[in-house]
């Protein structure tokens, strides 16, 4: 009898332990401090992938590489949105390094050379601090780096102009570690038409562009549809045999008429293709009022320069512009990013959304609470307050992207 009682007590204890382990926390009932503490815990225990950061081009503009210096990525910096310290503070594990090619290189040449230079600069970071940084060419490598405590630096090309007019350069860049390519950027190119260009040079995806998409499918390179116009997107969706990703786009629902963001119809087509939208953070991307205020500031400055017969380069103008912008700068809160994520989820489901900050690419237009890579917990906290579970947030942070990336790799060949 005694033995039976012991087993009953042990059984009840085990049952209670299992129940406690599987019990879900209702984050909506916690205080702000408690929610943020939980958000920080989640951020550091799960992998966070960010689809797009412009650190390489910012390093390039600093010119350190010209005299053989390596940018001090490993220590906290006062400029830019990311360094190793802030990434670790925010729980960021795999920021995609954008190999950005400005549209001007389509006209003057040198796009491939610039791409090679930027790739080399990322490689030098990794080679300089191999105990802290590592390249990553697959979800598996990011997971392995995470277990080792290493920050992964996967790479993607922003602007297909990098391959110039030679489709064989896709294989070349894939071999160099590039795992996605944004088809266009600020202007139409040989591949297709840009959301920022009104020329509509190709009337969508060009014949060359169709070959590019299929070759990317063959290689297992992610087709990034951020920056393309709507016609080009739907052409790509028809041609591609693999899922599509918008690595840094937000929902046009909140910014009517802004074609750079993705419409509900595009979001639905991306989900139909089993891809995903990675929400970007810039103020003008996530809030119509912020964008309008920015337009008003620029219009005022242009009129003031004209009236005073000055240019942006004049010191007197720079002082006035700095003061005026500081006085009239619009603000937006990190919660707006969460609203964009929530819109995608309500439209097509939790499996088709992720994060694509565009850090180092949107200047000082970032929301309050999301100014740099240390602040991912603030966004996670907003999602928790909206009722998202830890499982949901893990999908948003990396599981959705890993699923899509693996599907693209499996469809290759």
Q: pLDDT at position 74, please?
A: 98
For 312, the token pair is 């942006």
Q: Rounded to an integer, what distance in angstroms lies between the CA atom of residue 28 and that of residue 382?
A: 10
Q: Rounded to an integer, what distance in angstroms lies between the CA atom of residue 348 and that of residue 269?
A: 10
Do the Cβ atoms of 246 and 270 come closer than 8 Å?
A: yes
Do the Cβ atoms of 366 and 53 come closer than 8 Å?
A: no
Q: Can you give the pTM of this predicted structure?
A: 0.91
**Cα 86 → chain centroid:** 16
Q: pLDDT at position 184, please?
A: 98
Q: Rounded to an integer, what distance in angstroms lies between the CA atom of residue 92 and that of residue 90?
A: 5
First-to-final CA distance of the chain: 66
Per-residue pLDDT tens listing for the chain (413 residues): 444 444 444 444 544 444 444 457 899 889 999 999 999 999 999 999 999 999 999 999 998 787 889 999 999 999 999 999 999 999 999 999 999 999 999 989 999 999 999 999 999 999 999 999 999 999 999 999 999 999 999 999 999 999 999 999 999 999 999 999 999 999 999 999 999 999 999 999 999 999 999 999 999 999 999 999 999 999 999 999 999 999 999 999 999 999 999 999 999 999 999 999 999 999 999 999 998 888 888 898 999 899 999 898 888 888 888 888 888 888 999 999 999 999 999 999 999 999 999 999 998 899 999 999 999 999 999 999 999 999 999 999 999 999 999 999 999 98
Q: Rounded to an integer, what distance in angstroms lies between the CA atom of residue 3 and that of residue 86?
A: 56
Neighbours of 42 (CB within 10 A): 22
Q: Rounded to an integer, what distance in angstroms lies between the CA atom of residue 50 and that of residue 81?
A: 13
Residue 100 parent element (H or E): strand 94-100
Give the chain's domains with CATH numbers.
28-286+333-410 (3.20.20.140), 288-331 (no CATH)
Q: Rounded to an integer, what distance in angstroms lies between the CA atom of residue 403 and that of residue 161?
A: 28
E strand residue ranges, 106-217: 133-134, 151-152, 155-158, 178-182
For 192, the token pair is 């297709």
- Burial class (CB within 10 angstroms; exposed 0-12, middle 13-18, buried 19+) of 315: exposed
CA distances (Å), 97 to each of 118, 276, 304, 376, in order?
9, 19, 38, 17
Q: pLDDT at position 65, please?
A: 82
């Amino acid at each position: 009898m005694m033995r039976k009682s012991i087993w009953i007590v042990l059984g009840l204890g085990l049952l209670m332990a299992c129940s406690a382990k599987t019990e879900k926390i209702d984050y909506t009932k916690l205080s702000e401090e408690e929610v943020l503490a939980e958000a920080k815990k989640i951020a550091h225990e799960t992998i966070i992938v960010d689809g797009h950061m412009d650190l390489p081009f910012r390093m390039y503009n600093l010119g350190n590489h010209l005299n053989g210096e390596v940018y001090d990525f490993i220590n906290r910096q006062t400029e830019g949105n990311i360094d190793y310290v802030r990434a670790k503070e925010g729980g960021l594990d795999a920021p995609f390094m954008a190999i950005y090619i400005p549209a001007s290189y389509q006209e003057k040449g040198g796009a491939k050379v610039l791409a090679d230079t930027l790739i080399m600069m990322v490689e030098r970071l990794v080679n300089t601090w191999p105990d802290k940084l590592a390249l990553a060419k697959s979800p598996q490598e990011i997971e392995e780096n995470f277990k080792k405590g290493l920050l992964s630096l996967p790479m993607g090309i922003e602007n297909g102009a990098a391959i110039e007019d030679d489709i064989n350069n896709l294989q070349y860049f894939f071999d160099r570690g590039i795992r996605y390519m944004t088809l266009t950027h600020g202007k139409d190119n040989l591949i297709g038409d840009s959301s920022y260009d009104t020329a509509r040079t190709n009337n969508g995806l060009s014949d060359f562009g169709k070959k590019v998409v299929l070759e990317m499918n063959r290689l297992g390179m992610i087709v990034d549809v951020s920056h393309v116009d709507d016609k080009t997107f739907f052409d790509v969706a028809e041609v591609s045999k693999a899922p599509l990703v918008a690595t840094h786009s937000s929902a046009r629902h909140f910014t009517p008429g802004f074609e750079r963001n993705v419409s509900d119809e595009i979001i639905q087509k991306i989900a139909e293709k089993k891809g995903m939208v990675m929400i970007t953070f810039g103020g003008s991307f996530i809030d119509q009022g912020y964008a309008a205020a920015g337009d008003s500031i620029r219009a005022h400055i242009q009129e003031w320069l004209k009236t005073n017969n000055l240019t942006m380069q004049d010191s007197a103008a720079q002082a006035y512009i700095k003061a005026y912008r500081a006085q009239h700068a619009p603000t937006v809160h990190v919660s707006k990013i969460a609203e964009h994520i929530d819109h995608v989820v309500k439209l097509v489901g939790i499996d088709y959304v992720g994060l694509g900050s565009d850090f180092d690419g949107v200047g000082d237009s970032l929301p309050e609470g999301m100014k740099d890579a240390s602040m991912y917990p603030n966004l996670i906290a907003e999602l928790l307050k909206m009722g998202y579970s830890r499982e949901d947030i893990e999908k948003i942070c990396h599981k959705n992207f890993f699923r899509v990336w693996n599907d693209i790799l499996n469809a290759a060949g």
